[in-house]
Chains A and B, each alone.
Chain A
Amino acid sequence: MQKLIEARDVYTNFFTFEGVVKALNGVSIIVNQGETYGLVGESGCGKSVTVRSIMRIVQSPGRIVGGKILLFLSREDKGQGIDILKRSEAYMESIRGNDISMIFQEASTSLNPVLSIGYQVAESFLLHRLDEMLKETIDTLKAEIESGKLFITGWWKKFQGLLFKAELKGLERYTDMVAGIDRRLYELEDSTDKISIDERNHLNRKRDRLKKTVFVVQCVRHLPFIKHYGKKLHKTIRIHVIDLLKELGVPNPQNVPDMYPHELSGGMQQRIVIAIALACHPKLLIADEPTSNLDVTIQAQIIDLIKNLKSTSIASVLFITHDLGLVAEMCDRVTVMYAGDACETAAVKDLFKEPLHPYTKGLLRSVPKLKAQKELESIPGTVPNLIHPPSGCRFHPRCPHAKDICSEDKPPLTEHSEGHFIACYLYT
């Protein structure tokens, strides 16, 4: 299977006033192309921090302090991957939104309350699929000019033609330059001598600058004499927005673009957030508890939607949840996390049939099931404070099988059977 993204032994800390929160304790996950990958665990175990680390959007005072995050996109070397922790912010920005999109639990916080829905979805189109939209606009304009629908005098026609050409060329050059920088950066990635580090910093700065220039160019477009063409562009985008909303099952998609977030219910807001995330055709959609605040019937709608999209327009999904039921329903493979440790990774079927890690076993036994049970089994004790996490295996104070070694060293992640990884001394 093709790897898409890999987190290798990632450590993330939060340097807070009370002390250092050791939120991630060497987490490794691999998301392959075309799969739905689950990340499950109780509140505070580090699910969100893991995906935020992957996207490099850990909030301050948090910092990734160790490990690698490798991205395997088709553009560059697929075998080794690119370590995004070594790349510039501009590079990350082009990845976020272009290749990876993220949706969060609280749909309302991802939407701007004072902007219309149409504007917010359109913005995402403008940001990530500008060249496609431009081309389409030019085509429709051309068609209109040729069919004589649009009355345009000779010089104006010529002028606009030149403008379009210049813009397209500029875009092409920009992409080429960025690609060149990326290639060079990639070559330099693992070299540690001073000269190459300097060059890397220089290239990163250059990329940032280019990004800024493009932004300025985009602002220029709003000058009055280019406006006619801008209007057309908006029309093109609006058609796409409505199409997308229709595809996502938003009732009366013609009117929704003119509404504001507060006029929509939670489920509908989450659909809009998904629309924004999908506007750029991402290779990976990261969904951080997208349905935890919704009712079961609405949750069923959203899950159904994500499943359908998975089979049509998105390649892979990284799905974060605390609900084992949703994992069973949605995911192909899953990692169980506990207090910043990735305890067990397996195919969903294997995990539910034969959980191996003591924490996974406890977790599975403590969920109420459809079959009648007399008493639920529970895991004694509570989740530890991550400022002073337990030594060795972080689960050892609650583990019924803890041995001496468990409190001394962190158990390594080992492959028990094909594709089934466990970090526990019972299996080494």
Chain B
Amino acid sequence: MSNNIIEVRELKKYYPVQGGVFKRHIADVKAVDGVNLAIKKGECLGLVGESGCGKTTLGKTILRLNQATEGRIYFNEPEEKVEEVEKLLSSESREERSRGQKLRQKIDITKFYGRKLLPLRQKIQIVFQDPSNSLNPRMLVKGIIAEPLIAQKLMNAREIEKRVIELLYTVGMAKEHMMRYPHEFSGGQRQRIAIARALATYPEFVLMDEPTSALDVSVQAQILNLLQKLQADFKLTYLFVTHHLLVVKHISNRIAVMYLGKIMETGTTDDIFEDTHHPYTRALLSAIPIPDPETKMEKIILTGDVPNPVNPPKGCRFNPRCKYAKTVCREAEPELEKAAGNHFVACHRWKEL
């Protein structure tokens, strides 16, 4: 029995940049550029990073809303099988590699199309950042929540209505709200509707793309509490994407820090916050404004901006802004290496720092 619900291996997603008179393909935005990530069943994995670092792209690629450029994604596959395929794929002999490719077609969801995607769409759902954009303004709340159920063709009209009412109560709303339009609700209520829709098909995995970033603090607290309760009640697994580090600390068991399309550090929430290894994570943590005038943390002020993902820096992506950068950092790209237990760091110098 596998305990990883999702395994991402060397995933890449490039968006083509077109230019010139003939709209020729001139370059790529390397939004996700070689990500390895495992999400355990029942956990809440927080994915943090600055805007444009590829968080949304990674999430959407896992959901198959984006076609991956390269790499593999396994959903609910036993660990041994995944390892076997990965071993074959990286093997020396051509024969083994082609055998690997054949096996991969069956379990790598980036290779699933059409009907084969249907069960996946039921088990994986998403909640977007801005509830006012993600809900169709011309549809009644009832229709919005029922949409995925109708698409799955699993229930008849009476059952669907019953399910919608049940979902509304689950997210703390009432039956009367069914016959209204999204604009009649506040931001927090709209986010509740979006959550209800995501839960409609009894998913196992929900991608939360900044679900509280557009909300006020007092409402954010309501939604975070609701999400935690739902996770416990329905044994859900979350990938929680956000740039708000205190939120991620509150809700996640494990955290992955992303920078310019790559994972820089992953570990349990305590690993990341208490035993930080990567210079970027440190800077990120020190930049959080702490709502307590008594604790004065020392700030690490990074110079410069996040570089352009069309042309990421050679070597370690963080080297132009890193004060510890050395020659080796400008030449070789560090891979994720194990620091302890479940704690991984991609930095040449983490041991010395």
Q: Which residues of A does B touch, CB under 8 Å?
A: 42-43, 251, 265, 267-268, 295-301, 303-304, 322-329, 348-349, 352-353, 362-370, 372-373, 375-380, 382-383
Contact = CB atoms under 8 A, between A and B. Distances in A.
11 contacts: A251-B304, A300-B286, A300-B299, A322-B216, A326-B289, A328-B291, A349-B293, A353-B294, A364-B291, A378-B222, A378-B225
B306 A322 contact: no
Nearest to B305: A265
B217 A325 contact: no
A106 to B, nearest CB: 15
Given A298-B305, A382-B188, A352 B218 contact: no
A378 B250 CA distance: 14
B245 A378 contact: no
A328 B283 contact: no
Contact of B301 (A301, A322, A327, A380): A301
A348 B188 CA distance: 28
A329 B294 CA distance: 9
B296 to A, nearest CB: 8
B289 A323 contact: yes
Given A42-B217, A368-B224, A382-B189, A296 B287 contact: yes
Contact of A369 (B189, B292, B294, B304): B292
A126 to B, nearest CB: 30
Contacts of B290: 325, 328-329, 369-370
Given A295-B51, A329-B289, A366 B221 contact: yes
A327 B222 CA distance: 22
Contacts of B250: 368, 372-373, 376
Contacts of B328: none
Given A251-B304, A349-B293, A375-B228, A296 B284 contact: yes
Interface in B296-324: 299, 301-306
B247 A267 contact: no
Contacts of B306: 295
B139 interface: no
A375 B229 CA distance: 10
B130 interface: no
Nearest to B223: A378
Contacts of A322: 216-217
Contacts of A329: 289-290, 293
B216 A43 contact: yes
B247 A42 contact: no
B186 to A, nearest CB: 5
Contacts of A370: 246, 249, 273, 288, 290, 292, 295
**Number of chain B interface residues as a range:** 35 or more
B291 A324 contact: yes
B299 A304 contact: yes
B277 interface: no
A366 to B, nearest CB: 4
Contacts of A348: 293
A325 B216 contact: no
B219 interface: yes
B278 to A, nearest CB: 14
Contacts of A303: 289
A304 B283 CA distance: 14
B220 interface: yes
B104 interface: no
A323 B303 CA distance: 23
B172 to A, nearest CB: 10
Given A353-B294, A376-B224, 9 more contacts: A295-B243, A297-B283, A300-B299, A324-B291, A325-B291, A328-B290, A368-B224, A369-B291, A370-B273
Contacts of A373: 250
A296 B245 contact: yes
Contacts of B51: 295
Contact of B186 (A251, A295, A382): A382
A419 B287 CA distance: 30
A378 B218 contact: yes
Contact of B288 (A43, A325, A375): A325
B271 interface: no
B50 interface: yes
A364 B50 CA distance: 25
B225 A375 contact: yes
A346 to B, nearest CB: 11
Contacts of A349: 293-294
Interface in B246-292: 246-247, 249-250, 273, 283-284, 286-292
Contacts of B284: 296-297
Contact of B243 (A296, A324, A328, A379): A296
A391 B335 CA distance: 61
Contact of A368 (B247, B299, B302, B305): B247
A349 B228 CA distance: 32
B50 A295 contact: yes
Given A328-B289, A352-B291, A268 B305 contact: yes
A56 B197 CA distance: 45
A368 B216 contact: no
A300 B287 contact: yes
A125 B23 CA distance: 43
Contact of B293 (A297, A323, A328, A363): A328
Contacts of A383: 186, 216
Contacts of B245: 296
Nearest to A249: B303
B225 A297 contact: no
A375 B189 CA distance: 20
Nearest to A41: B216
A219 B287 CA distance: 47
Nearest to A381: B218
B221 A377 contact: yes
Contacts of B218: 42, 362-363, 366, 378-379
Contact of B217 (A296, A297, A367, A375): A367
A303 B297 CA distance: 14
Contacts of B219: 42, 378, 382
Nearest to A291: B289
A383 B188 CA distance: 10
Given A265-B305, A299-B287, A368 B243 contact: no
A352 B290 CA distance: 11
B216 A301 contact: no
Nearest to A267: B305
A367 B291 contact: yes
Contacts of B303: 301
A375 B219 CA distance: 14
B246 to A, nearest CB: 4
A7 to B, nearest CB: 24
A366 B291 contact: no
A377 B221 CA distance: 7
A353 B222 CA distance: 24
A198 to B, nearest CB: 49
A213 B292 CA distance: 53
